[in-house]
């Protein structure tokens, strides 16, 4: 008579299966729930730290390998997937935004590199994995988020809280909905500080897994005070192949490092041209600089986004590509980058939790 598989044997077999990125046992991390044996099948719920997890297949393979043919009597594994996005522990001296688990800044050394395009499409890509996502546009030089998402309304206040605008399942707030575009930037700067406090703390964001924040380009006073005000999980640096070597990128990295904001990675945008007719790739500018930059600075490389007319025009109906054409190959590129980013967020939160409390760094002078 065949041996009846037991729960104890299943637990023993699973005790050594590690999370491929965090390098800790899944059991210890509380990621395996509701373990049970039904006949010859082992069943369990796997609770990931992000629904965008790029390692789902690998985790499944490793669980299978540890159990099937190892635990006597088990012939199959059935997994239910779930996610509970980890929360940023935050930096000392910064107020948390209630309900918002992670704030990720999208930054660039200069304008025109596709920061807003990347922020909008990444937010949408994260949302498509099942995460709850908001988008906060603080770029006073070019608050283009409303244009890209076709938002014309001003946000309204209900019971003393500002209700964010909605676009394609995202909750959105933009400095563009309140500033006067004809006013020079020097006037918009002080307004920004005020508006930002409101945008963070007086907006009814609800529960969000990720709030993607489009920062103004560069590393001036405005960026500095923003990066100091917002309780960031981390920052992403967007470059194009031509501008990776410019001093501004290095300055950006230095600014976040000094503020002790983790850099979650580098994205190379406008990386090669994908011909919409024949699908052939032409490297109009050089390519690979973003990866080299990441490697030399010891930062994660999150991916390359090609120069593509569909990324510029989106679906043609004023909606960004990932919302309008989620099945397009270019949208898959954004899904890939979003998964890498989400994994980096999980790791940053894990490190912050595991490591010692970070001492507060020297405050940079902000005028």
Ligand X SMILES: Nc1ncnc2c1ncn2[C@@H]1O[C@H](COP(=O)(O)OP(=O)(O)O)[C@@H](O)[C@H]1O
Least gap, CB of 83 to ligand X (angstroms): 28
Write down the least CB distance from residue 307 to ligand X, Å: 4
In the complex, minimum distance from the CB of residue 146 to Mg ion, in angstroms, rounded to a whole number:
11
Stretch that binds ligand X, among 44-52, 180-188, 300-308, 343-351 (CB under 6 A): 300-308
User: Does residue 227 interact with ligand X by CB under 6 A?
Assistant: no
Residue nearest to Mg ion (CB): 116
CB of 108 to ligand X, least distance (A): 5
User: Which of ligand X, Mg ion, none has residue 223 at its interface (CB below 5 to 8 Å by kind)?
Assistant: none
Of residues 115 and 310, the one with the C-beta less far from Mg ion: 115
Cβ proximity to ligand X, 106 vs 261, nearer residue: 106
Q: Please identify which residue in 72, 99, 112, 169 interacts with ligand X, judged by CB under 6 A.
A: 112
Which residues, listed in sequence order, are joined to residue 33 by a DSSP beta bridge? 45
User: Which range, of 110-118, 125-133, 203-211, 294-302, touches ligand X by CB under 6 A?
Assistant: 110-118
Tell me which residues touch Mg ion (CB under 5 A).
115-116, 142, 144
| CA 299/CA 302 separation, integer angstroms | 9
Question: Which partner, ligand X, Mg ion, none, binds residue 329 by CB below 5 to 8 Å per kind?
Answer: none
What is the distance between the alpha carbons of residues 321 and 339, in angstroms, rounded to a whole number? 17
Name residues whose C-beta falls within 8 Å of residue 176's C-beta, 6 or more positions apart in sequence: 137, 143, 144, 145, 146, 147
Give the closest residue to 103 by CA, choosing from 213, 217, 198. 213
Piece in contact with ligand X (CB under 6 A), picked from 16-24, 168-176, 280-288, 307-315: 307-315
Size of the site for ligand X (CB under 6 A): 17
Q: Residue 283: helix, strand or coil by DSSP?
A: coil
When binding is defined by CB under 6 A, the residue of 115, 128, 132, 287 that contacts ligand X is 115
How far is Cα of residue 73 from the mean position of the Cα atoms in its chain? Answer: 42
* Residue placing its CB nearer to ligand X in the complex, 10 or 108: 108
- Told to check if 269 binds ligand X by CB under 6 A, we report yes
Does 223 sit near ligand X (CB under 6 A)?
Answer: no
Q: How far is the CB of 308 from ligand X (least distance, A)?
A: 5
The answer to whether 22 and 29 have CB atoms below 8 angstroms apart is: yes
Applying CB under 6 A, among 135, 151, 270, 324 the residue interacting with ligand X is 270
**HSE of 328, CA atoms in CB hemisphere, 13 A:** 22
Question: Cα separation of 66 and 17, whole Å?
Answer: 7
Positive/negative CA dihedral, 249, 224, 228, 175: negative
Distance, in Å, from the CA atom of 362 to the CA atom of 118, rounded to the nearest integer, reads: 31
Q: Which is nearer to ligand X, 115 or 319 (CB)?
A: 115
DSSP string, 81-118: EEE--------TT-PPPTTB--EEEEEESSTTSSHHHH
**Exposed, middle or buried: residue 180 (CB in 10 Å: 0-12, 13-18, 19+)?**
exposed
Instruction: Read off the tokens for 338.
Output: 């979003």
Would you count residue 307 as binding ligand X (CB under 6 A)?
yes
Q: Which of the choices ligand X, Mg ion, none does residue 233 contact, using the CB cut-off of 5 to 8 A by kind?
A: none
Q: Is 125 in the site for ligand X (CB under 6 A)?
A: no
Question: Binding residue for ligand X (CB under 6 A) from 107, 144, 233, 239?
Answer: 144
Q: Is 218 in the site for ligand X (CB under 6 A)?
A: no
183-196 in b/e burial notation, b at 16+ Cβ within 10 A? eeeeebbeebeebb
117 makes contact, choosing from Mg ion, ligand X, none, with CB < 5 to 8 Å by partner type, with ligand X
113 binds ligand X (CB under 6 A): yes
Residue 203's DSSP bridge partners are 162
- Closer residue to ligand X in complex, CB, 20/111: 111
**Of 324, 323, 318, which is closest to residue 150 (Cα–Cα)?**
318
Q: Is 58 in the site for ligand X (CB under 6 A)?
A: no
Chain contacts with ligand X (rule: CB under 6 A): 108, 111-117, 142, 144, 269-270, 305, 307-308, 311-312
């Amino acid at each position: 008579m065949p041996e009846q598989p037991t729960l104890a044997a299943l637990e023993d077999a699973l005790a050594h299966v590690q999370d491929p990125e965090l390098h800790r046992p899944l059991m210890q991390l509380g990621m395996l729930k509701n373990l049970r044996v039904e006949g010859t099948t082992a069943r369990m719920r796997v609770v990931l730290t992000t629904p965008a997890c790029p390692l789902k297949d690998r985790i499944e393979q490793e669980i299978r390998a540890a159990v099937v043919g190892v635990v006597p009597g088990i012939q199959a594994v059935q997994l239910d997937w779930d996610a509970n996005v980890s929360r940023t522990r935050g930096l000392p001296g910064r107020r948390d935004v209630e309900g918002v688990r992670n704030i990720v800044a999208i930054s660039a050394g200069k304008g025109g590199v596709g920061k807003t395009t990347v922020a909008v499409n990444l937010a949408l890509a994260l949302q498509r994995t099942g995460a709850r996502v908001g988008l906060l546009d603080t770029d006073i030089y070019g608050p283009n988020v409303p244009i890209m998402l076709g938002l014309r309304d001003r946000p309204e206040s209900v019971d003393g809280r500002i209700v964010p605008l909605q676009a394609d399942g995202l909750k959105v707030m933009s400095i563009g909905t309140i500033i006067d575009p004809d006013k020079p930037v020097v006037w918009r700067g002080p307004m920004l500080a005020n508006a930002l406090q409101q945008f963070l703390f007086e907006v009814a964001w609800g529960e969000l897994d990720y709030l993607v924040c489009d920062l103004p380009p560069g590393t001036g006073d405005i960026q500095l005070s923003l990066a100091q005000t917002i309780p960031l999980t981390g920052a992403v640096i967007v470059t194009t192949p031509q501008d990776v070597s410019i001093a501004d990128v290095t300055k950006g990295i230095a600014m976040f490092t000094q503020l002790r904001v983790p850099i979650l990675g580098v994205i190379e945008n406008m990386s090669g041209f994908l011909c919409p007719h024949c699908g052939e790739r032409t490297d109009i500018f050089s390519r690979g600089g973003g990866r080299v930059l990441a490697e030399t600075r010891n930062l994660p490389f999150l991916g390359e986004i090609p120069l593509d007319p569909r990324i510029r025009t989106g679906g043609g109906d004023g909606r960004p590509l990932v919302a309008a054409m989620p099945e397009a190959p270019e949208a898959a590129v954004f899904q890939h980058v979003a998964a890498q980013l989400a994994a980096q967020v999980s790791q940053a939160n894990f490190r912050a939790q595991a490591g010692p409390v970070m001492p507060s760094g020297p405050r940079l002078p902000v005028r």
